[in-house]
Amino acid sequence: METVPIAPDLLPADGRFGSGPSKVRPAQADMVSALGRTVLGTSHRQAPVRSLVGRVREGIAALLEVPDGYEVILGNGGAVAFWDAAAFCLVRERAQHAAFGEFGQKFAASTDGAPFLAPSDIRAAPPGELARCAPAEGVDVYAYPHNETSTGVVSPVSRVDGDGDGDGDGALTVVDATSIAGAQRVDLTQTDVYYFAPQKVLASDGGLWLAVVSPAALERIAEVTASRWVPEFLNLAPAVENSRKNQTLNTPAVATLVMLAEQLDWLNERGGLAWASDRSASSADILYGWAQRREWAKPFVADPAHRSPVVGTVDLAESVDAAAVSAQLRQNGIVDTEPYRKLGRNQLRVGMYPAVDPEDVRALTECVDYLVERLA
Ligand SMILES: *Cc1c(COP(=O)(O)O)cnc(C)c1O
């Protein structure tokens, strides 16, 4: 492939548009370097690392405006590990899942395959569309993604009321916010578990899961883990205990915590969730508006209300080879605009987390215009 060079003045200041892992701001990496001779390489059972974990927990509580009585817990293994922990420790008998993409489906597969649970009630929708949970007999966990990263579909966040009598029916609402927590306003009283990982909105590295849990979820964890065998690594009961002490069950990646704490401070200093949401929404307006103005592009998600403010998916016409466009962008230092691998569409996918400058999204669209003209 011959590179089509893009003039430097057209390029974004930072060319990282991944949907996860995502752009890490240089100041976060500088902080890792600054703490490289003190906190890095020291015990996670001692004050310096524990205070870092405390800073992360407080930063999340501030950013997400965590309601009274809710707690921020964390552990190793990322969001995927949390799915299995949830199957073991949150579901009493039966889960219902709204599955409208790879991530939602994978969590559904985890509870559906658990031999100690009833088969899951899975409400699916085709890629690019939204599926929602609905009250059903015998379901004690309702689970859905807030943002389906594989397709760029965003879901409203609201509690699913088991029997519709308004008391919540004791069922838990468990929301996978891995790729949107911290970038769209949310009322966490509508959820019992709102979980995520640091390598998307929060611009850090992978390997951790974090969750905001309600009093009802804490009760459920205690109840379920007392009555069934649970592998220690996936057991949320010790995770709650360790989190209260600003620790994790086993050794965390300290550099990940440093970058995470830095990003939380950065977001909170600028106006928290409102500021972060507006910034991602501005990027999304630029991207989707551009796609709608081009003959050869259109937003993949047909319903504007379901278009993600953080993961933009844009289909290109057959006459334009999206893979060639992404490859040329990559040659020019603009990376990770490829679509989710299993979706198999002629598409660009753009991470628009708050770390990304909306002006860089604008520059990206100009670079795509330039390439499409040259590649024709
Ligand atoms: C990335 C992602 C996951 C997986 O996160 P890991 O930290 O890699 O395990 C799960 N759910 C959603 C919605 C995601 O975007």
Residue 162 pLDDT level (bands cut at 50, 70, 90): low
Does residue 178 line the site of ligand 1, with CB under 6 A?
yes
Q: Which atom of ligand 1 is nearest to the CA of 146?
A: 13
**Contact in structure between 19 and 352 (CB atoms under 8 Å):** no
Query: Which of 256, 20, 273, 272 lies closest to 147, judged by CA?
Result: 20
For residue range 257-304, list pLDDT tens digits in order: 999 999 999 999 999 999 999 999 999 999 999 999 999 999 999 999
Length, in residues, of the chain: 376
Query: Cα(2) to centroid of ligand 1, in Å?
Result: 35
| Cα separations in angstroms, 216 against 100, 228, 305 | 27, 19, 31
Does residue 308 line the site of ligand 1, with CB under 6 A?
no
pLDDT, position 169? 61
For residues 132 and 312, what is the distance between their CA atoms, to the nearest angstrom?
21
Average pLDDT of span 310-322: 98
For residue range 340-368, list pLDDT tens digits in order: 999 999 999 999 999 999 999 999 999 99
Q: Which atom of ligand 1 is nearest to the CA of 311?
A: 15
Q: Which residues, at least 6 apart from 261, have a Cβ–Cβ distance to it below 8 Å? A: 52, 55, 56, 59
Query: Cα(147) to centroid of ligand 1, in Å?
Result: 10
Residue 161 pLDDT level (bands cut at 50, 70, 90): confident
Average pLDDT of span 22-40: 96
How much is the mean pLDDT over the chain?
96
Tell me: pLDDT of 67 over 90.
yes
Give Rg (Cα) of the chain.
21
pLDDT, position 376? 87
- Identify which of 82, 84, 103, 208 to mutate to test ligand 1's pocket (most ligand atoms within 8 A of the CB): 103
Q: Is the pTM of this model over 0.75?
A: yes
For residues 184 and 280, what is the distance between their CA atoms, to the nearest angstrom?
8
For residues 86 and 89, what is the distance between their CA atoms, to the nearest angstrom?
5
Residues of the chain with pLDDT > 90, as a percent, come to: 97
**Contact in structure between 66 and 60 (CB atoms under 8 Å):** yes
Tell me: pLDDT of 323 over 60.
yes
Start-to-end CA span in the chain (Å): 15
For residues 200 and 181, what is the distance between their CA atoms, to the nearest angstrom?
9
Residue 348's φ and ψ, nearest 5 degrees, are -110, 140
User: Which residues make beta-bridge pairs with 251?
Assistant: none
User: Which residues make beta-bridge pairs with 348?
Assistant: 314
DSSP secondary structure string, 93-133? S-EEEEE-SHHHHHHHHHHHH-TTSPPPEEEE--TTS----
- Identify which of 74, 151, 178, 205 to mutate to test ligand 1's pocket (most ligand atoms within 8 A of the CB): 178
Longest dimension (CA), the chain: 64
For residue range 69-99, list pLDDT tens digits in order: 999 999 999 999 999 999 999 999 999 999 9
Tell me: pLDDT of 168 over 70.
no
Tell me: pLDDT of 165 over 70.
no
**Contact in structure between 153 and 306 (CB atoms under 8 Å):** yes
Tokens of 199: 């390598």
Q: What is the residue with the minimal CA distance to atom 12 of ligand 1? A: 178
DSSP secondary structure string, 165-182? SSSGGG-EEEEE-TTTTT
Please state whether 126 falls in left (phi above 0), alpha (psi between -120 and 50) or beta. Answer: beta
Query: Cα(128) to centroid of ligand 1, in Å?
Result: 18
Query: Which of 60, 40, 20, 15 lies closest to 263, judged by CA?
Result: 60
Query: Cα(145) to centroid of ligand 1, in Å?
Result: 10
pLDDT, position 1? 84
